[in-house]
């Protein structure tokens, strides 16, 4: 047994005796950016319980992909996950009675949903021909707040608010400090004007909205830094926008509109042609007095009339302070008042996939 598989067994959300007959349903959870084995909390076990009670003749097991470093090339992560999933499937099917016994549901949070989507396509494309059966038998790709079309620009706007406040304060009290530090205090050379700061080269490849959002953040922050913001509340300044900018570093093609649309089109096609159910449960914050008069989401949403539109399912959160809090706190009832509804809706989508696979039909069953 590989050490990776051994780690999976020790870290899986649940384990119990496998039935001698019937389906083996494996719910495989993959965390996203800076996630851990604890990202999903008790959600995997809750989902397992709901499905165990509502899908007859089935053994349901939740397994969490061991924590991985969310840096580097996405393709490398896809290879590692594919290898791990292949090993896991073989072991579980041998224990359950033979090849092809397991039905797999990939459940990815945030960037984990991008990882599972690309892994699914690797398996689909890796078949000897288009009519060959898919193995591992993935019956559903369920995503939780995955930015398939990118991050909503409001995420940057809201994350920048505190950074801008700190930068403005720094500019009013720290201009002379940098001058003294550099040994030219006597000359009192004026601080560079914000508009002279050069935009990062990478920004030129972003969608127009991303460039505007980055400019809003970068312009204010860089102006503050020139006036001493690196010495004034530097920790708070960094925390305000690091989460969003680190997202960019992990997956560079998050800003490639063509690649994003192509990935989403493939997911929709996999459902229409292969019967592999695809859903993305996106966090939704309703208008909140004193905070925001607008509805907010972490992800950019497809047009409702598009093929992907009906596959993006609202996951309402009325207690999160902002989009990032809603995104990172969606798997706890303490931080998400829609937590229980999320479990029920996810179970509904998975049941549909399982029963459709049992019938050997691409026609989904509605409950």
Mind listing the pLDDT tens digit for each residue in 178-217? 343 344 344 444 545 544 444 444 333 334 434 444 444 4
Residue 7 or 89, more confident: 89
Do 196 and 85 sit in the same domain of this protein? no
**Does residue 367 lie in a domain region?**
no
Report the chain's terminal Cα–Cα distance, integer Å: 40
16: pLDDT strictly greater than 50: no
Do 53 and 202 sit in the same domain of this protein? no
Residue 240: pLDDT band (50, 70, 90) is very low
* CA 130 – CA 193 distance, rounded (Å): 59
Residue 152 or 290, more confident: 152
Do 56 and 182 sit in the same domain of this protein? no
How does the average pLDDT of the chain come out, rounded? 77
**Does residue 306 lie in a domain region?**
yes
Where in 204-361 does DSSP place strands (E)?
A: 277-285, 296-297, 312-316
**Does residue 125 lie in a domain region?**
yes
CB count, 10 Å around CB of 184? 11
Do 103 and 28 sit in the same domain of this protein? yes
Do 241 and 353 sit in the same domain of this protein? no
**How confident is the model over 60-95, as pLDDT tens digits?**
999 999 988 766 678 888 999 999 999 999 999 999
289: pLDDT strictly greater than 70: no
Do 130 and 46 sit in the same domain of this protein? yes
Residue 288: pLDDT band (50, 70, 90) is confident
Do 177 and 234 sit in the same domain of this protein? yes
Residue 73 or 299, more confident: 299
Do 135 and 272 sit in the same domain of this protein? yes
C-alpha pair distances (Å), 321 with each of 184, 217, 238, 293, 342: 44, 20, 19, 13, 19
Range of the structural domain that residue 167 is part of? 153-252
Q: How many residues does the chain have?
A: 367
**Does residue 235 lie in a domain region?**
yes
Domain boundary among 252, 273, 303: 252
DSSP-derived secondary structure letter, 302: P
**Does residue 63 lie in a domain region?**
yes
Tokens encoding 360:
């050997």
Do 12 and 99 sit in the same domain of this protein? yes
**Does residue 33 lie in a domain region?**
yes
* CA 109 – CA 102 distance, rounded (Å): 22
Do 239 and 265 sit in the same domain of this protein? no
For residues 246-263, give the mean pLDDT: 74
Looking at the structure of the chain, the number of domains it has is 2
pLDDT of residue 22: 76
**Does residue 334 lie in a domain region?**
yes
Domain boundary among 252, 282, 304: 252
Do 258 and 111 sit in the same domain of this protein? yes
Q: Which helix (DSSP H) or strand (DSSP E) does residue 175 occupy?
A: helix 175-181
160: pLDDT strictly greater than 80: no
Mean pLDDT highest for which of 4-13, 157-166, 288-297?
A: 288-297
Domain boundary among 228, 252, 276: 252
* CA 249 – CA 243 distance, rounded (Å): 10
**Does residue 366 lie in a domain region?**
no
Do 159 and 279 sit in the same domain of this protein? no
DSSP-derived secondary structure letter, 232: S
């Amino acid at each position: 047994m590989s050490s990776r598989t051994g780690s999976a067994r020790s870290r899986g959300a649940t384990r119990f005796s496998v039935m001698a007959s019937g389906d083996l349903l494996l719910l495989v959870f993959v965390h996203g950016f800076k996630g851990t084995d604890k990202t999903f909390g008790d959600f995997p076990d809750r989902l397992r319980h709901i499905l165990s009670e509502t899908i007859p003749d089935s053994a349901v097991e939740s397994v969490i992909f061991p924590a991985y470093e969310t840096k580097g090339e996405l393709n490398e992560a896809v290879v590692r996950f594919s290898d791990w999933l292949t090993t896991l499937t073989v072991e579980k099917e041998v224990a359950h009675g033979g090849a092809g016994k397991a039905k797999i549901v990939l459940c990815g949070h945030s960037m984990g949903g991008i990882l599972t989507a690309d892994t699914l396509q690797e398996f689909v494309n890796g078949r000897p021909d288009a009519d060959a059966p898919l193995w591992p038998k993935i019956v559903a790709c369920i995503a939780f707040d995955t930015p398939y079309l990118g991050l909503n620009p409001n995420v940057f706007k809201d994350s920048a608010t505190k950074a801008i406040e700190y930068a403005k304060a720094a500019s009013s009290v720290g201009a002379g400090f940098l001058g003294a530090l550099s040994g030219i205090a006597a000359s009192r050379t004026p601080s560079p004007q914000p508009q002279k700061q050069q935009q990062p080269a990478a920004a030129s490849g972003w969608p127009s909205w991303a460039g505007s959002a980055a400019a809003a953040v970068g312009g204010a922050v860089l102006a503050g830094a020139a006036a001493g913001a690196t010495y004034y509340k530097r920790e708070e300044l960094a925390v305000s926008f690091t989460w969003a900018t680190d997202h960019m570093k992990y997956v560079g093609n998050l800003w490639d509109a063509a690649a994003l649309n192509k990935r989403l089109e493939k997911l929709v096609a996999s459902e229409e042609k292969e019967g592999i159910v695809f859903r993305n449960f996106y966090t939704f914050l309703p208008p909140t007095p004193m905070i925001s008069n607008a509805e907010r989401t972490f992800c950019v949403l497809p047009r409702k009339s598009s093929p992907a539109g009906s596959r993006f399912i609202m996951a309402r959160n009325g207690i999160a302070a902002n989009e990032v809090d809603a995104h990172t706190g969606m798997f706890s009832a303490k931080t998400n008042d829609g937590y229980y509804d999320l479990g029920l809706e996810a179970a509904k989508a998975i049941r549909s996939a399982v029963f459709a696979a049992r019938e050997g039909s691409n026609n989904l069953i509605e409950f």
